[in-house]
């Protein structure tokens, strides 16, 4: 991805997996990759959600309360140029970006 000009929003070295035996994680599974154009809209804020990822209905070995998945949700903050609080829905031209799949 880096060779194509993309960068990762989740900081290097942040683990994105979880288990009942290791809630802090030990592997890097998931990323949010953005293009150099989209990087202009990146606020620098991102993270990994580790709370409330278990369910009392999921087995955990011989008991209950297992994790839903070993992949943690990851998030990032992008500026869109929209101020929803003031009802200003104009897009600021210098923060335009595209997301491709």
Q: CA-to-CA distance for 15 and 64, rounded, in angstroms?
A: 24
Residue 75, SS3?
strand
Tell me the pLDDT tens digit for each residue of 20-37. 899 999 999 999 999 988
Instruction: Name which residue leads in pLDDT, 57 or 100.
Output: 57
R_g (Cα) of the chain, nearest Å: 18
- 54 phi and psi angles, rounded to 5 deg: -115, 165
Tell me the pLDDT tens digit for each residue of 2-11. 898 899 999 8
What secondary structure letter does DSSP report for 54?
Answer: B
Total structural domains within the chain? 1
pLDDT at 52 over 70: yes
- E strands in the chain: 7-8, 33-34, 42-48, 59-60, 63-64, 74-78
Q: How confident is the model at residue 17 (pLDDT cuts 50, 70, 90)?
A: very high
Q: CA-to-CA distance for 47 and 22, rounded, in angstroms?
A: 18
Residues of the domain holding 89: 1-101
């Amino acid at each position: 991805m880096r060779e194509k000009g993309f960068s990762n929003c989740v900081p290097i070295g942040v683990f994105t997996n979880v288990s009942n035996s290791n809630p802090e994680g030990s592997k890097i599974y998931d990323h949010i990759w953005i293009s150099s154009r989209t990087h202009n809209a990146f606020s620098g804020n991102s993270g990994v959600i580790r709370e409330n990822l278990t369910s009392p209905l999921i087995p955990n070995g011989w008991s209950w309360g297992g994790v839903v998945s070993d992949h943690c949700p990851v998030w990032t903050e992008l500026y869109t140029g929209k101020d929803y609080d003031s009802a200003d829905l104009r897009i600021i031209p210098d923060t335009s970006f595209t997301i491709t799949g």
